[in-house]
Amino acid sequence: MQRGRDRREGAAPVQRHGRRDHAPSGHRTPRAHHPRRSPRGSRPHAHGGQGHRTGERQHVGGPAEDRRDARSRTRPAGERTAEPPHRPGIPSRDDPARAGEPRDRVHATHQGDRLVSVEARVLLVADRNRSGIPAVLSIIEPAIERNASEVVRIGPEDPLPETRFDVAVVLGGDGTILGQARRLATRGTPIAGVNVGRLGFLAEFDADAFADATELVLGDAPPIVERMTLEVRVESPDADLDDDEGWTLALNDCVVTAGAPFRMIELGIDFNGHGGPHLSGDGLIVSTPTGSTAYNVSAGGPIVHPTCDALVVTPLAVHSLAFRPVVAGAGETIAVTAVRVNEGTTLVIDGQLTRHLRVGERVRIRRGRPRVRLIHDPRAEFWSTVVQKMRWATGPTYRDR
């Protein structure tokens, strides 16, 4: 079902619903050569410049540099300078822990006596034709360009460049973040969401907050939180699929919904291959903790802190007083079998990908292998956000007597 992967017979595709973005694809902005303060707040230094690569050591004047120049003039020709001693806590270039780290993405380097940060490569995802986004871009783009060695601009529907990026800055609402999270999860690219939507649970930054935090977000140690995902696939009764075949990634949830003509449907549910309950009603939601504040909470399911790993199972308008939402372990595999369905019964993933279900087909759900990496706004706190944006536990308004 997943776009970009080969599918064998028996794994049905999931359709994508959403707008086409007409922003220019793959537009690159050359690096801006602005002075930048060093972490110690001393003299500004040049980043790159003619004849220098990003991350390359450049001359920084001062007494220490003069002493080194004097030593280099007295060193015999051809003699190599000894490697500096290893500092505890700082991995050397030969450390196995750094295997696979790109050489042109050095997190910090010493220039003279000062620690100088190296700038990031940024993927900027925005629908420039969407209302409100040009105004937000006018605030955050200058800050990004001052702190990035490269900025590549694409629209939400444009193909991802093959280049590896250090940060993806995504403008939009939570729906835009969901779509890009599914695309970027397997790359491990951290996502900084800038809210231009109505709610902004996943897009934690507003324009001003992002502009203020740009150096932190694009710096060496941005505050990253990892979110659990789901892998979902549809199995036909005669399907013969490999274990790694046909899965689609979800960050929020997957939903089986009755659809037209809106009669009750019957679903069989089992956990880890063991027989479970049958549901008669309008459908079923299986969500991640991240998705627990979305459709799940509207259907009466529990709110689960997004740093937890769990599967939240919530029925939709079930015709029973005994079927309650449950929280299952993240390591369990849930199978939902279509026993009796309508013509319009549909599997919906993250509210964006859909696939009609037929009698006998099974939806299998398990914890996803890739995790979505989100850059957290240090000023935001989950429970405060639930109170402020969802009005959690807000009581009635009383009149003074």
Tens of pLDDT, residue by residue over 31-50, are 444 444 444 344 344 444 44
* Residue 237 sits in the same domain as residue 145: no
70, two tokens: 């004097």
pLDDT at residue 85 greater than cutoff 50: no
Read off the pTM. Answer: 0.71
* Residue 241 sits in the same domain as residue 343: yes
* Residue 201 sits in the same domain as residue 262: no
pLDDT at residue 221 greater than cutoff 50: yes
- Label residue 370 by pLDDT band (50, 70, 90): very high
13-22, 209-218, 335-344, range with the lowest pLDDT: 13-22
The position carrying tokens 């599918």 is 7
- Label residue 216 by pLDDT band (50, 70, 90): very high
Q: What is the pLDDT of residue 296?
A: 97
Residue 21: which residues within 8 A CB-CB, separation 6 or more?
A: 127, 129, 155, 156, 157, 158
The enclosing domain of 200 has a CATH number of 3.40.50.10330
Q: What are the backbone dihedrals phi and psi of residue 208, each rounded to the nearest 5 degrees, phi first? A: -70, -40
* Residue 264 sits in the same domain as residue 253: yes
pLDDT at residue 368 greater than cutoff 90: yes
* Residue 185 sits in the same domain as residue 240: no
Question: In the chain, how many domains are there?
Answer: 2
Q: What is the pLDDT of residue 380?
A: 85
- Label residue 61 by pLDDT band (50, 70, 90): very low
Q: What is the pLDDT of residue 326?
A: 96
- Label residue 62 by pLDDT band (50, 70, 90): very low
Catalytic residues: 174
pLDDT at residue 18 greater than cutoff 90: no
Residue 319, domain extent: 230-369
Task: Give burial (CB, 10 Å; 0-12/13-18/19+) of 29.
Answer: middle
The enclosing domain of 251 has a CATH number of 2.60.200.30
The mean pLDDT of the chain is: 79
- What average pLDDT does the segment 229-236 reach? 97
pLDDT at residue 318 greater than cutoff 90: yes
Q: What is the pLDDT of residue 399?
A: 74
pLDDT at residue 30 greater than cutoff 80: no
- Label residue 235 by pLDDT band (50, 70, 90): very high
- Taking Cα atoms as reference points, which of 145, 146, 149, 142 lies closest to residue 165? 149
- Label residue 394 by pLDDT band (50, 70, 90): confident
pLDDT at residue 174 greater than cutoff 80: yes
Contact present, 159 and 125 (Cβ < 8 Å): no
100 assigned to some structural domain = no
* Residue 154 sits in the same domain as residue 191: yes
- Label residue 197 by pLDDT band (50, 70, 90): confident
* Residue 221 sits in the same domain as residue 241: no
Element (H, E) at 168: strand 167-172
* Residue 364 sits in the same domain as residue 377: no
88-97, 134-143, 236-245, 272-281, range with the lowest pLDDT: 88-97
* Residue 329 sits in the same domain as residue 240: yes
Per-residue DSSP letter, 36: B
d(CA 38, CA 162): 31
Q: What is the pLDDT of residue 244?
A: 84
pLDDT at residue 103 greater than cutoff 70: no
55, two tokens: 């991350």
Share of the chain above pLDDT 90, in %: 59
Phi-psi region of 379 (alpha: psi -120 to 50; beta: other; left: phi over 0): alpha
203 assigned to some structural domain = yes
